[in-house]
Amino acid sequence: MSGFVLKRLGFAVITLIAVLTIVFFIVRILPGDPAMVILGDQASQQSIDLLRKRLGLDRPMIVQYFDFMSGVAIGDWGVSMVSGRPVISEVLKVLPATLELTFAALILGAVIGVPLGVWAAISRNTIVDYLLRLASLLGLSSPAFVSAVLLLFAFAIYLPWFPVISSGRGTSLGARMNDLALPAINLGLIMAAYITRVARSAMLEVLGQDYVRTAKAKGISFFAIIVRHCLRNTMIPVVTVVGLYLGILIGNSVLTEIVFNRPGLGRLIVGALFQRDYTMLQGMMVIYTLLVVVVNLLTDLTYGLIDPRIKYS
Amino acid sequence: MNPQDPIPKVVKVSYFRLTLAALASGLVNAFNTNKTSWVGLGLFLFICLMALLAPTIAPHDPLDQNIFDRLQGPSAKYWMGTDAYGRDILSRILYGSQISLIIGLVSISTALVIGTIIGLVAGYVGGKTDIIVMQVMDVLLAFPSLILGLIVVAMLGPSISNLIIAISLTAIPPFARIARAPTIVVKEREFIEAGRALGYSNLRLMGGHILPNILPEVLVMGFLWLATAIRVEASLAFIGLGVSPPTATWGGMIREGFENILDSFWLAFFPSIAILSVVFALNLLGDGLRDAIDPRLKGET
């Protein structure tokens, strides 16, 4: 077990280095000079050169690359060009708010999605199945900001149940939950749409297995078959998909944070975009890469918890 | 064969036509297996038609500002109301569909071609090349496409061509993956062996013999990613990284409408429905086709 974890950790580090390398070079190979983008079209060549020097863009690309990578490794992600504070502390300040939203959405997505998927599977090719499939397709067709705007209108403006702006800074648990509710429902419903589909197809596969037929023949109640014999086996594809759709979840969380005006990584990255905060953008790339790699690692490790037959080797 | 016999005429086969024919019959079969894909196709073609006819059927000029008619609700004159500059929402939605469709179609075609070539070559060559290339693709696939698109557009500046570059960049890895999987199966088949024995070049084997076999799967993927591309373009526009105003884009209209959501709901509502319909239509279409092509994947994302 520990050998496997070590091996996976090593693999995660390699992946991390690979993504950072790819993203670093994509940003630099593309036409467009950050210094020019930051200063605008009116800037003189002199000030552009000066800024390029300050950003270290005048050095050879390979030097910049090693500088960037060693900075990432020791936690020196540079200083925000706008606020003058270290990028890493700005990121860490808002990270909890984003994690809170993402976890809440994941839990909500699983709690709604898994039962619906199972329901669709056991009522295969009936009107229930058909409607559930259409609903989940509609859910995953909806861009997060479209559903967010619709939810905001329905439950914050038309029916003033929730705050229009969720500060995410409430002190009491109740206030925090109230702030979190609508954004989490928005993200959670989209996640549920994805999970319903996977849970349905995984369940269909399990229902066709011999051991399910045996269990039926033994006279075990339908409920017990589903819960004890099938559900656990449908969880592996569900967990895989949650890991795979992390990218979508992250993108959607950015949009959700914007609509609900909620502090978090999403608003940080958009703010950095419009203030041309180049170092901040680079730091955001690092943190998103870290998130992706860590979640992939966790996904792999979860398999063994769900299915003891999977040996870590 | 006698040495005196005339050399048999080499039948010239047009791989292009063969591919097209196989594809057409495959698609029609797929459509008939899952009837909902016809609904998706119908809805999508209808939206394409609206986009094409926008200059003829739009009741107003999408950029025409009418200061006396600003923020009007839906009426006989303005079916979907007007925005803060008094521009007709319906006309802007019609013209906005052109932007969404052009960016989606061009970026996905680009990604489809590049990604398929990468996947095909990686799968065909195999070995270390395959492992390295696909590892890179998997890693890029894991990176949130919206964030990657965001960074690229922010670096390049928002214009139609830059949006196309950003979106195709994020869509290459899935096509490489979908093209590689069938390639490693097909390349072991007898007809490829036969081709190799006949001394066909690798290029000919890949392009003429493997490609036609993997194309249906790639194209189905194309519809699903077209949906994603339109969603990403709208999301970028909503964030403020779309084609610059005053050009009408659906995401941009929702962004503007969002500022007036308290008193003029239609501003954000109608473009939202437009985005939802086109993405839903494409998902319906791609989903049904995929079920038909690979029954094992029924209902999976």
| Nearest residue of chain B to residue A289 (CA atoms) | B143
Q: Which of A30, A248, A250 is nearest residue B156 as measured by Cβ atoms?
A: A30
The model's confidence at residue B301, banded by pLDDT at 50, 70 and 90, is very low
- The whole-angstrom distance between A142's CA and the closest CA on chain B is 6
User: Contacts from B113-117 at CB under 8 Å and sequence distance 24+?
Assistant: B114/B168, B114/B172, B114/B175, B115/B171, B115/B172, B115/B173, B115/B174, B115/B175, B115/B176, B115/B178, B115/B179, B116/B175, B116/B176, B116/B179, B116/B211, B116/B214, B116/B218, B117/B179
Q: Which CATH architecture fits B22-54+88-293?
A: Orthogonal Bundle (1.10)
pTM of the model as a whole: 0.83
Give the pLDDT band of residue B14 (cuts 50, 70, 90): low
B238 interfaces chain A, CB cutoff of 8 Å: yes
pLDDT of residue B249: 86
Q: What is the CA radius of gyration of chain B?
A: 23
Q: Is the pLDDT of residue B288 over 70?
A: yes
Instruction: Look at A109-123, A166-180, B48-62, B256-270 and tell me which has the smallest mean pLDDT.
Output: A166-180
More confident residue, A206 or B30: A206
**pLDDT at A165 (0 to 100):** 63
- pLDDT class of B10 with cuts at 50, 70, 90: low
- Our CA-based measurement puts residue B285 at a distance from the nearest CA of chain A, in whole angstroms, of 11
Q: Does B47 touch chain A (CB under 8 A)?
A: no
Cβ-based contacts of B258 with chain A (< 8 Å): 149, 259
- Per-residue pLDDT, B102: 92
What is the per-residue pLDDT for B229?
Answer: 92
Comparing B187 with A196, the larger pLDDT belongs to A196
pLDDT-derived band at A248, boundaries 50, 70, 90 = confident
| Arithmetic mean of pLDDT, A9-15 | 80
User: Chain B, 100-139: which have a CB under 8 Å from a chain A CB?
Assistant: 135-136, 139
- Residue B131's pLDDT band, with cuts at 50, 70 and 90, is confident
Closest CB to B144 among A150, A250, A273? A250
Closest chain A residue by Cα to residue B174: A244
pLDDT for B300 equals 39
B142/A19 touch (CB, cutoff 8 Å), yes or no: yes
Reported as a single tens digit per residue, the pLDDT across A91-110 is 888 888 888 898 899 999 99
Give the pLDDT band (50/70/90) at residue A280. confident
- Is the link from the previous residue into A96 a cis peptide, with omega within 30 of 0? no
Q: What is the dihedral of CA B116, B119, B123, B129, to 10 degrees?
A: 140
Residue in B142, B150, B297 nearest the CB of A269:
B150
Q: Which of A20, A2, A15, A138 is nearest to A69 (CA)?
A: A20
- State the nearest Cα–Cα gap between B279 and chain A, in angstroms: 5
CA gap B257, B255 in Å, rounded? 5
Q: At B299, is the pLDDT very low, low, confident or very high (cuts 50, 70, 90)?
A: very low
Interface contacts (A, B; CB < 8 Å): 153
